[in-house]
Structure 1
Amino acid sequence: MHLHILGICGTFMAGLALLARERGFHVSGSDANVYPPMSEQLQAAGIGVHEGYEPAALSPTPDLVVVGNALSRGNPAVEYVLAKGLPYTSGPQWLAEQILQGRWVLAVAGTHGKTTTSSLLAWILEYAGHGPGYLIGGVPRDFGVSAQLGRSPYFVVEADEYDTAFFDKRSKFVHYRPRTLVLNNLEYDHADIFPNLEAIQQQFHYLVRTVPSNGLILAPAGDNALEAVLAMGCWTPVAPIGMAKEKDCALTAAAVAEDGSRFEVWREGAYQSQVSWSLLGHHNVANGLAAIGAAHHAGVPIEQACQALERFQGVRRRLEVCGKVKGVTVYDDFAHHPTAIAKTLAGLRARVGEARLIAVLEPRSNTMKLGIHKESLAPALTLADRVLLYQPPDLAWPLAPAFHSLGAKASVFADIQAIVDNLCAHAQEGDHIVIMSNGGFGHIHQRLLKALQGGGQ
């Protein structure tokens, strides 16, 4: 059977393509934005990608077209599918019907930390010998690919609240029917499809309604937005998790190092184990604790889960070290929301101390482009010694006024090469440069490393 995936290079759809290929389908796809790491893993799997959405890519006619949620009416490929009456479905619907049926689904939802927590959870299950399937919106270094079918009933899925498709406006995660559900946190995001936080909470309520009474929901203590969701109706046991200061938690992290590199795990007031690992930040301690709790629900002893975390190698594009040249370390980070930006910089600042920390930001997400969080961006970047901002042509609001409070340490650029040149001109040994974008950012990481080496662009 031939599947053609529209939007195949998206983080979700690329993983779906790998699952379909592993299941034995012939897979092809189209996308307008082809860049690593998803383009690399598709190429490695031998999956052909047509750049652009010309209808010619749908010849020979596929048996089924899987439509990504980034596509809408007016797209040439979508219009061709509809006009020709080709069978089509959404990615989440295909996943639910072809992969998740009959499996123990462990879903990770929330505004922040989904990819890291999903990766941690899948790795714990793998380390414990369970061989889980998984579909994650990033590439865990321990696996090397973003999705696998697995060899056990367990399947870990990153459960995104974004809408399903142009013809199905429910959140993706409503399709997944998890038995174990992690709710990491909840803030307002995705302003292009949700008018307010209450609209997102409604979708989370629909997700909660799908978890069986013999399942488990793990949620952070003290998250008011999530507590409001659970108050709308919950028929499943809830295990609160939190830091030592939180009371009445099923799982607690204590004795947390300032940079988050070490912490103790306590269960219902009793010490269980300690974790010393490579990840940074208290937000990742929370992610790790959630993964431990979800794995424990699937039968993994807490001490074994902690051992797995100590061997976890991280996720691509999550404060990933791209290279170190002449004492300057360059990182790639997916952070594209003020909260994620602030927590990422806080973790790195705690690790590097007084070393210069330079933040480079591309405001690329749909919410960023709408200017919803513009008042929160400057405060999120205060821990950086320098801030370089890219003003893309399609950004409808000017960056400079929003960052006036940062004074001389903030600069706005309309050209990516100008950012590279500026970074090189002012780079000092010991600098840490964090490049933040949820897109390819004009291959700025590679261009910067090459320029630092003295190789120009």
Structure 2
Amino acid sequence: MRVHLIGVSGTGMGQLAMLLRDAGHDVSGSDMSFDPPMGPALEAAGIRCLPGYKAENIDAGYDLVVVGNAIRRDNVEAVRTDELGVAKTSMSGALREHFLVGRRPLVVTGTHGKTTTSAMCAWILAQAGLEPGFFIGGLPKNFPSGASIGSTKRKLGGMGGARMGKPAPFVVEGDEYDAVYWNKQPKFFDYVGVGSDDVAILTSIEHDHIDIYPSADVYEAQFAAMIDKLPPDGLIAADARDARARKLVSSRAKSRVAFYGLDGDETGDVTPTWFGALVAPDPVTGAQPFDLYAGGSYCGRFALKVPGAHNVRNAVGAIAACAEGFGVGVATARTALAAFEGVRRRQDLLGRPGGIAVYDDFAHHPTAVDETLRALKSREPNGRLWAIFEPRSATACRSLHQNEYATAFRAADRVLFAPLGRTNIPEAERLDVDKLAREIGESAEAMPTVDAIVARITEQAAPGDTIALLSNGAFGGIHAKLLSTLASRS
């Protein structure tokens, strides 16, 4: 086919463009800019990159136009597509029709942990020899990119490989954000219900994306509908600790259910089938060990290079889905997870200029901030932990979680807040970072600019300290600025 993508430079759209190119299609894409890393990657993959949105970019010879979810209906290319009657779809629609149909999807959903859990699942299935395809909203360090077609051959399936002829797996991160301007529903609606035995993971449900889902009930209803779409012969692995997830899965799932959890979790009336018990981190390597139990039986000791209880939780969920859904042996999962390197922008060590560890992390929801900081404190126990936070997402910039943020930074010794990353939030709805800093106390400060943050850290950070840069965006280039300044100081 000839395929054109409008808004191709986003992570998901760019990865889809490269999948389509790998599948043998003639692919072009337009966007306002083609900045690194996606721009050069698209060009290297043979995608024709067209700067700016122009009506002449679309002609009647295209077989399909894929419209990104950041594109509005009045975009000149979207309008031209309709005028010419060219077939159009969303990113999630294209992924379903061209890569999920005929495969066995493993859809990872939930508010937290989707990217890391998806990467773990893809790596476990790959190490089990199942040659999975995958589509992940980040860059797993064990793979050259965040997306791959994988094998289209039929594979062994079922517990222990007892049944033959199953389609090869395809792991997809199931984002709950809306698909496209004419379909304001979660992307994961396009990913579940593809086959008769889909597998899903539900990590958590905590109100997010307030710009799309105005209330917690509306947000929760999307996951309820997702559970309803899973086929009876499918499987859902759900975190038993999360009360909302536990309730929805227990009351609505017509598929098989595999609950998972950690030692000490409050799980209501549910007993997790898959259970992890944390062990003290290795003081030399920083590895995070845990003991795994399945159905009450001890399955051995595991170890992760990525720290924190939340990553152990992600790992147990991934094991449950891969073992019960695809017949992967526990020993294979243990070997795979021991070699799992993590995902870029998730506790990603950028360097140690002057003996100061600088980490980059995508965390922006209060729960994710809390778990990330506690994990880094465990990994880097010496010196002070600095949390540098940019509220940037539509939810983070609002006062929805004002109270929760006040306790989310408790693991940090110093907290610096950047200005809000969005200027279009009504003043009455904005997160009040000055108030937040006052509530936290003397250890916290609201800063006027990124350069002021860099100057404060350069002035006061000492060797042995750890800096956590927390933002779901580019954070004004603070990463390179801080590394350069600290290196110059040393």
TM-score normalized with structure 2 length: 0.87
What amino acid does structure 1 have at the position aligned with 2:176? E
How far apart are residue 379 of structure 1 and its match?
1.3
Q: Which residue of 1 aligns with 2:158?
A: none
One-letter amino acid of the structure 2 residue matched with residue 12 of structure 1: G
Question: Which sits farther off after the overlay, 109-118 or 202-211?
Answer: 202-211
Q: Distance in 2 between matches of 1:11 and 1:333?
A: 16
8 Å CA contact 1:4–1:65 kept in 2: the answer is: yes
Residue 176 of structure 2 is aligned to residue 161 of structure 1:
yes
Deviation, 1:42, is 2.7
Tell me if the contact between 1:66 and 1:88 (Cα under 8 Å) persists in the aligned partners.
yes
Unaligned runs of 5+ in 2: 154-167
Among candidates 214, 217, 224, match of residue 195 of structure 1:
214
State yes or no: 1:171 paired with 2:205. no
Kept in 2: contact 1:103–1:155 (CA 8 A): yes
1:264 aligns with 2:266: no
Deviation at 1:404? 1.3
C-alpha distance in 2 between matches for 1:442 and 1:363: 12
Closer, same or farther: CA 59–444 of 1 in aligned 2, 3 Å: farther
- Secondary structure in structure 2 of the residue aligned to 1:372: helix
Comparing 412-421 with 78-87, which one deviates more in the overlay?
78-87
Match of 1:221 in 2: 240
Q: Distance in 2 between matches of 1:79 and 1:177?
A: 30
Match of 1:185 among 175, 187, 204: 204
- Summarize the Cα distance change of 1:177–1:157 in structure 2 as closer, same or farther, 3 Å threshold: same
Partner of 2:275: 252
Tell whether the 8 Å contact from 1:392 to 1:414 is kept in structure 2 after alignment: no
Hey, what's the Cα distance between the residues in 1 that align with 2:311 and 2:401?
A: 23
Residue in structure 2 matched with residue 134 of structure 1 by the alignment = 134
1:259-408 equivalences in 2 (<5 Å): 261-296=288-323, 297-392=325-420, 394-395=422-423, 396=425, 397=430, 398-408=432-442
1:326 aligns to what SS in structure 2?
helix
CA distance change for structure 1 residues 377 and 36 in 2, over 3 Å: closer, same or farther?
A: farther
| Aligned counterpart, 2:225 | 206
Cα distance in 2 for partners of 1:136, 1:376 equals: 28
Note the C-alpha offset of 1:5: 1.5
Counterpart of 1:15 in structure 2 is 15
Structure 1 spans left out of the alignment, 5+ residues: none
Q: Give 3-state SS (helix, strand or coil) of 1:368's partner.
A: coil
Letter in 1 for 2:379: R
Distance 1:82 1:33 in 2: 24
Cα distance in structure 1, aligned partners of 2:179 and 2:244: 22
The corresponding residue for 1:121 is: 121
Give distance in 2, aligned partners of 1:57 and 1:415.
39
1:145 and 2:172 matched: no
CA shift at 1:245, angstroms? 3.4
Q: Which amino acid aligns with 1:280?
A: P
Amino acid at match of 1:282: A
How many Å apart are 1:391 and its aligned residue? 0.7
Aligned to 2:411, the other structure's residue is in SS state coil
Does the 8 Å contact 2:109/2:176 carry over to 1? yes
* CA displacement, residues 70-93 of structure 1 (integer Å, 9 cap, x when unaligned): 222344443443455443211111
CA contact (8 A) 1:5 1:17 kept: yes
Three-state SS of the structure 1 residue aligned to 2:247 is: helix
Q: TM-score, normalised by structure 1?
A: 0.94
Matching of residue 2 in structure 1 with residue 2 in structure 2: yes
Q: Is the 8 A contact 2:8 2:29 kept in 1?
A: yes
CA offset digits 1:135-189 (Å, max 9, x no partner): 0000101112010000151100001111111001121111112611100111000
Select which of 227, 242, 258 maps to 1:239: 258
Q: Distance in 2 between matches of 1:51 and 1:191?
A: 31
Aligned to 1:367, the other structure's residue is in SS state coil
Name the CA shift for 1:388/1:88 in 2 (closer, same or farther; >3 Å).
same
Read off the aligned partner of 1:90 and give its amino acid letter. Answer: S
Residues 86 and 137 of structure 1: CA distance in aligned 2, closer, same or farther (over 3 Å): same
Q: In the TM superposition, what is the alpha-carbon distance from 1:406 to its structure 2 partner?
A: 1.8
CA contact (8 A) 2:397 2:420 kept: no
Alpha-carbon shift at residue 417 of structure 1 (Å):
2.0
**Partner AA of 1:159 in structure 2:** G
Please say which of residues 227-236 and 30-39 is displaced more in the overlay.
30-39
Distance in 2 (alpha carbons) for counterparts of 1:87 and 1:455:
57
Q: Describe the SS at the equivalent of 1:373.
A: helix
Q: Identity of aligned pairs, percent?
A: 39
| Residue 419, structure 1, aligned to residue 446, structure 2 | no
Change (3 A) 1:255 1:385: closer
Equivalence for 2:165? none
In 2, Cα distance between equivalents of 1:9 and 1:211? 32
1:112 aligns to what? 112
Contact 1:122 1:132 in 2 (8 A): yes
Paired residues, what number? 456
| 8 Å Cα contact 2:418/2:449 also seen in 1 | yes
CA-to-partner distance for each residue in 1:23-71, whole Å, 9 max, x for gaps?
A: 0112222334655554454344233444543445447964322111122
Answer yes or no: is the 8 Å Cα contact 2:276–2:292 preserved in 1.
yes
- Please state how far the C-alpha of 1:303 moved relative to its aligned partner: 1.5
CA distance in 2 between partners of 1:426 and 1:40 (Å): 37
Match of 2:31 in 1: 31
383-392 or 46-55, larger mean C-alpha shift: 46-55
SS in 2 for 1:453: helix
Q: Which moved more, 1:225-234 or 1:436-445?
A: 225-234
Question: Secondary structure at 1:4's aligned position in 2?
Answer: strand
**CA separation in 2, counterparts of 1:316 and 1:298?**
27
1:256 positional shift: 3.3
RMSD: 2.2
Kindly indicate whether the alpha-carbon contact (under 8 Å) linking 1:202 and 1:229 is maintained by their aligned counterparts in 2: no
